[in-house]
A and B are shown apart, each in its own frame.
Chain A
Amino acid sequence: MAVRLDKQWMPLNADSLRLIAGHLGVYQLGNDAGDIVYIGVAGGRSLFGLKGELQKALEDPPAGATQFRVEVNMAYRTRHFELLQAYWSDHGVLPVANTDVDTRSLGQLRPG
């Protein structure tokens, strides 16, 4: 499994969300330019898993998000941390809409 999520972006709209099930996992939201604006997780308390989290994003898109990509993953917490840390390593900051993450909880990953 690649450290960075490299799946195809899908448009953040109702048609795309019909293809998404309620699994646990991680997701990224992007803008029109393909920049990641948010890295999210559908954890054990998410009511409808990835579908539910993306539905919320569709209703109130953070930082102008227009597309998304997902990874079904039961190890959703460690994968979420990994994606956040990899982004931090690449950019020195977190995605613009990830104001919900306490950076003190992040480690220093240098994926190379």
Chain B
Amino acid sequence: MDLALTDEQRMIVDIVRRFVREEIVPLEDDLDPDADELPPEQLAKLVDKVKEMGLYGLDTPPEYGGPDINLVTRCLIAIECSQHRAGLYAPCYYAFGGARQAQLFEATDDQKNKYLYPMLEGKKRVFFGLSEPSGGSDPGRAIQTRAVRDGDDWVLNGTKLWISGADRADYGLLFARTGGPGRTGVTAFIVETQWPGFNVRRIVHTLRSAKYATEIQLEDLRVPHENILGEEGGGFAIANDRLSRQRVPYAAECLGVAIRAHEMAIEYSKIRETFGAPLSSRQGIQWMLVENEIDIRQARWLVMDGAAKADRGEPFRTESAIAKLVASEAAGRVVDRSMQIHGGLGVAKDLPLERWYRELRIRRVGEGPSEVQKHVIARDILGASLR
């Protein structure tokens, strides 16, 4: 695989890198170290600049107005966009358009008019409601929320956990069991958050003080039959598609943070002196930097391999799992070493390293923990025998 960038990719990387360093990083001097959003007016100005760059709506297909870029380029952009304090979970504060619920591109025309297009125009917010207290990585078995048909409606009861943005969303994709156990018993519904029976009960506090997850209780929530997304019993495929699709850019974001932390460590090791010599002259520090470099190069190769396979239309489930596994764990190690090189400054809120350290720990769990990625990889290596 050739990792050399095309002229167009090089130009895009340069533009985005300049945008991050000139427009985003300076803003953070005045924000709380754990901030994850900007005032709407400030964000709107950044969005206008991104639109001028032709890069707004990165996860939107070209036929719906998104930029015509492949996944490799998408990952190159993700690597750049995450290189600031809030960049891991709020890359450029969503000036590039934020996360899309890609499943809605498969919706019916009526559903698109009501839900998809307002989302693309930024008028409606959406959440993704898959995980439950019983788990999220194995939706075929874990989902216990029940949906029972009642005339033209379905009545939903159950609890959803770890759901981001549900308290601020206008609607969401919510998965419930409409049939028996297993994958074919799960259906995806489009649910409006103002409907009676939809209740966000609490915020789930974590290591991360910026974005939060929520717990949702569904109490006799009535959903019209026409709000089923896809086929009845087809929810697992919709959920699984999302989990695979997200993993490569997710890995790329980890990589971007690792690159920036490593750069900071290199710079600091050259200027910080101990016992009359710069840190960079110490073998102990040099080896940490070498290990950072190797971690980053390995992760970059695997992220780009996964993206390139997806762009060629080849199966990439195993590659996306490897990329997510390696990049999230490597980035954690890189930031940890970079903090060590910075000493006390590394753990202070003056620098972004401590925030990245906390948030990268979550990355080893979010979007499928490392062990689930290994399970996916093992299943593909061993064929179907582990199913």
**A 14-51 binary contact with B (CB < 8 Å = 1; else 0):** 00000000000000000000000000000111000000
| A82, closest chain B residue (CB) | B203
| B216, closest chain A residue (CB) | A110
Query: Once the chains bind, are B209 and A75 in contact (CB under 8 Å)?
Result: yes
Among B139-147, B193-201, B303-311, the stretch in contact with A: B193-201
**A74-112 with Cβ < 8 A to chain B:** 74-79, 81-82, 85, 102, 104-112
| B206, closest chain A residue (CB) | A75
**B202-234 with Cβ < 8 A to chain A:** 202-203, 205-212, 214, 217
Please give, as numbers and ranges, the residues of chain B lying within 8 Å of A105 by CB-CB distance: 37
Query: Once the chains bind, are A110 and B199 in contact (CB under 8 Å)?
Result: yes
User: When chains A and B are docked, how far (Å) is the Cα of A96 from the Cα of B199?
Assistant: 26
CB distance from A8 to the nearest CB of B (A): 22
Which of B32, B166, B193, B202 makes the CB contact (< 8 A) with A77? B32
Query: Once the chains bind, are A1 and B167 in contact (CB under 8 Å)?
Result: no
CB distance from B315 to the nearest CB of A (A): 39
Query: Once the chains bind, are A45 and B202 in contact (CB under 8 Å)?
Result: no
Interface residues on B, range: 20 to 34
Q: Is the interface of B mostly helix, strand, loop or mixed?
A: loop
Cβ of B149 under 8 Å from chain A: no
| A102, closest chain B residue (CB) | B39
Please give, as numbers and ranges, the residues of chain B lying within 8 Å of A110 by CB-CB distance: 199-201
Which of A43, A45, A108 makes the CB contact (< 8 A) with B167? A108
Query: Once the chains bind, are A112 and B34 in contact (CB under 8 Å)?
Result: no
Query: Once the chains bind, are A3 and B202 in contact (CB under 8 Å)?
Result: yes
Query: Once the chains bind, are A109 and B167 in contact (CB under 8 Å)?
Result: yes
Please give, as numbers and ranges, the residues of chain A lying within 8 Å of B201 by CB-CB distance: 109-112
CB distance from B26 to the nearest CB of A (A): 15
* B35, B36, B202: residue with the most chain A Cβ atoms closer than 10 Å: B202
Please give, as numbers and ranges, the residues of chain A lying within 8 Å of B199 by CB-CB distance: 110, 112
User: When chains A and B are docked, how far (Å) is the Cα of A102 from the Cα of B36?
Assistant: 15
| B167, closest chain A residue (CB) | A107
**B 82-98 binary contact with A (CB < 8 Å = 1; else 0):** 00000000000000000
Query: Once the chains bind, are A82 and B202 in contact (CB under 8 Å)?
Result: yes
Which of B33, B202, B212, B214 makes the CB contact (< 8 A) with A44? B33
* B34, B36, B349: residue with the most chain A Cβ atoms closer than 10 Å: B34
User: When chains A and B are docked, how far (Å) is the Cα of A85 from the Cα of B214?
Assistant: 12
B residues near A, CB below 8 A? Answer: 32-37, 39-40, 165-168, 193, 199-203, 205-212, 214, 217, 349
Query: Can you list 21 residue pairs at the A/B interface with Cβ under 8 Å?
Result: A3-B202, A3-B203, A44-B32, A44-B349, A45-B32, A74-B209, A75-B206, A75-B209, A76-B209, A78-B206, A78-B209, A78-B210, A78-B211, A79-B203, A79-B205, A81-B203, A82-B203, A107-B168, A107-B214, A110-B200, A112-B199
List 6 extra interface pairs beyond A78-B209, A106-B168, CB under 8 A: A1-B205, A77-B210, A78-B206, A78-B211, A79-B203, A108-B200
A residues near B, CB below 8 A? Answer: 1, 3, 43-45, 73-79, 81-82, 85, 102, 104-112
- Can you list the 7 inter-chain pairs with the closest CB atoms, starting with the nearest? A107-B167, A44-B33, A107-B168, A78-B212, A82-B203, A44-B349, A43-B32
